[in-house]
Structure 1
Amino acid sequence: MAPEVLPKPQMHGLLAKRLQFHMFGAFMVSLGVAALYKFGVAEPRKKAYEMRKAGIFQSVKSSWNIKNFFRLIYLEVCH
Protein backbone atom coordinates (compact mmCIF):
# COMPACT_ATOMS: atom_id res chain seq x y z
CA MET A 1 0.00 0.00 0.00
CA ALA A 2 1.26 3.44 -0.89
CA PRO A 3 1.20 6.09 1.83
CA GLU A 4 -1.34 8.87 1.35
CA VAL A 5 0.06 12.14 0.11
CA LEU A 6 -0.74 15.15 2.30
CA PRO A 7 -1.74 18.34 0.51
CA LYS A 8 0.81 21.13 0.53
CA PRO A 9 0.02 23.97 2.94
CA GLN A 10 -1.04 27.24 1.33
CA MET A 11 1.77 29.72 1.76
CA HIS A 12 1.39 32.05 -1.21
CA GLY A 13 -1.11 34.86 -0.48
CA LEU A 14 -1.89 33.65 3.03
CA LEU A 15 -1.15 37.00 4.69
CA ALA A 16 -3.27 38.93 2.20
CA LYS A 17 -6.16 36.52 2.66
CA ARG A 18 -6.03 36.78 6.46
CA LEU A 19 -5.72 40.58 6.38
CA GLN A 20 -8.71 40.86 4.06
CA PHE A 21 -10.79 38.71 6.40
CA HIS A 22 -9.80 40.68 9.51
CA MET A 23 -10.23 44.08 7.83
CA PHE A 24 -13.77 43.15 6.83
CA GLY A 25 -14.51 41.96 10.37
CA ALA A 26 -13.07 45.11 11.95
CA PHE A 27 -15.11 47.28 9.58
CA MET A 28 -18.32 45.45 10.47
CA VAL A 29 -17.61 45.67 14.22
CA SER A 30 -16.91 49.41 13.95
CA LEU A 31 -20.17 49.97 12.07
CA GLY A 32 -22.03 48.05 14.76
CA VAL A 33 -20.46 50.06 17.58
CA ALA A 34 -21.21 53.33 15.79
CA ALA A 35 -24.86 52.33 15.32
CA LEU A 36 -25.17 51.28 18.96
CA TYR A 37 -23.71 54.60 20.11
CA LYS A 38 -25.95 56.62 17.81
CA PHE A 39 -29.19 54.94 18.83
CA GLY A 40 -28.26 54.09 22.41
CA VAL A 41 -26.57 57.32 23.51
CA ALA A 42 -26.76 60.19 21.02
CA GLU A 43 -30.46 60.04 20.12
CA PRO A 44 -31.75 59.81 23.73
CA ARG A 45 -29.39 62.63 24.72
CA LYS A 46 -30.62 64.80 21.85
CA LYS A 47 -34.22 64.08 22.79
CA ALA A 48 -33.53 65.08 26.42
CA TYR A 49 -31.96 68.37 25.28
CA GLU A 50 -34.98 69.11 23.08
CA MET A 51 -37.33 68.37 25.96
CA ARG A 52 -35.29 70.65 28.22
CA LYS A 53 -35.45 73.45 25.65
CA ALA A 54 -39.20 73.00 25.35
CA GLY A 55 -39.55 73.44 29.12
CA ILE A 56 -40.98 70.01 29.86
CA PHE A 57 -38.80 69.50 32.93
CA GLN A 58 -39.97 71.62 35.85
CA SER A 59 -36.69 71.47 37.77
CA VAL A 60 -34.57 72.85 34.92
CA LYS A 61 -34.79 76.32 33.44
CA SER A 62 -35.76 76.33 29.80
CA SER A 63 -33.27 79.09 28.95
CA TRP A 64 -30.09 77.06 29.37
CA ASN A 65 -26.84 78.65 28.21
CA ILE A 66 -23.16 77.87 28.30
CA LYS A 67 -22.38 80.52 30.91
CA ASN A 68 -24.66 78.83 33.44
CA PHE A 69 -23.15 75.47 32.59
CA PHE A 70 -19.61 76.62 33.40
CA ARG A 71 -20.81 78.41 36.52
CA LEU A 72 -22.30 75.15 37.81
CA ILE A 73 -19.11 73.24 37.03
CA TYR A 74 -17.06 75.88 38.87
CA LEU A 75 -19.30 75.63 41.93
CA GLU A 76 -19.07 71.82 41.96
CA VAL A 77 -15.28 71.85 41.68
CA CYS A 78 -14.68 74.55 44.27
CA HIS A 79 -17.11 73.27 46.89
Structure 2
Amino acid sequence: MSVGTVAALTLALLRRPALWPVVVRQAHRLAARGWWRRVPFVPLPDATYAGFRALTQYGDAEREPDVADVLVWLEWCREMERGA
Protein backbone atom coordinates (compact mmCIF):
# COMPACT_ATOMS: atom_id res chain seq x y z
CA MET A 1 0.00 0.00 0.00
CA SER A 2 1.41 3.36 -0.96
CA VAL A 3 2.16 6.11 1.51
CA GLY A 4 -0.58 8.21 -0.09
CA THR A 5 -3.19 5.51 0.40
CA VAL A 6 -2.12 4.95 4.01
CA ALA A 7 -2.29 8.72 4.64
CA ALA A 8 -5.75 9.03 3.05
CA LEU A 9 -7.01 6.07 5.04
CA THR A 10 -5.54 7.47 8.25
CA LEU A 11 -7.28 10.81 7.70
CA ALA A 12 -10.58 9.07 7.00
CA LEU A 13 -10.23 6.96 10.13
CA LEU A 14 -9.42 9.96 12.31
CA ARG A 15 -12.98 11.15 11.62
CA ARG A 16 -14.42 7.77 12.67
CA PRO A 17 -13.33 7.01 16.25
CA ALA A 18 -15.88 4.19 16.51
CA LEU A 19 -13.72 2.24 14.06
CA TRP A 20 -10.43 2.67 15.96
CA PRO A 21 -10.79 -0.49 18.06
CA VAL A 22 -11.74 -2.43 14.93
CA VAL A 23 -8.64 -1.15 13.13
CA VAL A 24 -6.41 -2.25 15.99
CA ARG A 25 -7.96 -5.73 16.08
CA GLN A 26 -7.82 -6.19 12.31
CA ALA A 27 -4.24 -4.89 12.13
CA HIS A 28 -3.27 -7.43 14.77
CA ARG A 29 -5.06 -10.25 12.93
CA LEU A 30 -3.77 -9.45 9.44
CA ALA A 31 -0.29 -8.03 10.05
CA ALA A 32 2.53 -9.80 8.27
CA ARG A 33 4.96 -11.57 10.54
CA GLY A 34 7.88 -9.36 11.54
CA TRP A 35 6.20 -6.20 10.24
CA TRP A 36 8.12 -4.09 12.76
CA ARG A 37 11.40 -5.00 11.02
CA ARG A 38 10.40 -3.62 7.60
CA VAL A 39 9.73 -0.15 6.24
CA PRO A 40 7.09 1.16 6.54
CA PHE A 41 6.91 0.19 10.19
CA VAL A 42 3.16 -0.31 9.96
CA PRO A 43 1.30 -3.60 10.58
CA LEU A 44 0.18 -4.11 6.98
CA PRO A 45 -1.06 -7.46 5.67
CA ASP A 46 1.34 -9.80 3.88
CA ALA A 47 1.76 -8.75 0.23
CA THR A 48 0.58 -12.16 -1.03
CA TYR A 49 -2.62 -11.92 1.01
CA ALA A 50 -3.21 -8.31 -0.04
CA GLY A 51 -2.67 -9.27 -3.69
CA PHE A 52 -5.14 -12.13 -3.40
CA ARG A 53 -7.76 -9.87 -1.83
CA ALA A 54 -7.22 -7.20 -4.52
CA LEU A 55 -7.50 -9.83 -7.25
CA THR A 56 -10.76 -11.20 -5.86
CA GLN A 57 -12.27 -7.75 -5.30
CA TYR A 58 -10.97 -5.70 -8.22
CA GLY A 59 -9.69 -8.30 -10.70
CA ASP A 60 -6.15 -6.91 -10.41
CA ALA A 61 -3.66 -8.12 -7.81
CA GLU A 62 -1.67 -4.87 -8.07
CA ARG A 63 -4.55 -2.49 -7.42
CA GLU A 64 -4.60 -0.62 -4.14
CA PRO A 65 -7.84 -0.65 -2.17
CA ASP A 66 -10.16 2.32 -2.32
CA VAL A 67 -10.41 4.14 1.00
CA ALA A 68 -14.20 3.88 0.83
CA ASP A 69 -13.97 0.10 0.38
CA VAL A 70 -11.70 -0.24 3.42
CA LEU A 71 -14.11 1.82 5.52
CA VAL A 72 -17.06 -0.34 4.43
CA TRP A 73 -15.06 -3.47 5.26
CA LEU A 74 -14.19 -2.11 8.72
CA GLU A 75 -17.85 -1.30 9.36
CA TRP A 76 -18.70 -4.86 8.32
CA CYS A 77 -16.04 -6.22 10.70
CA ARG A 78 -17.50 -4.13 13.51
CA GLU A 79 -20.98 -5.49 12.85
CA MET A 80 -19.67 -9.08 12.73
CA GLU A 81 -17.84 -8.59 16.04
CA ARG A 82 -21.10 -7.41 17.58
CA GLY A 83 -22.80 -10.56 16.37
CA ALA A 84 -25.22 -8.68 14.15
TM-score by length of 2: 0.28
Structure having the higher Rg: 1
Higher-RCO chain (CA-CA 8 Å, sequence separation at least 6): 2
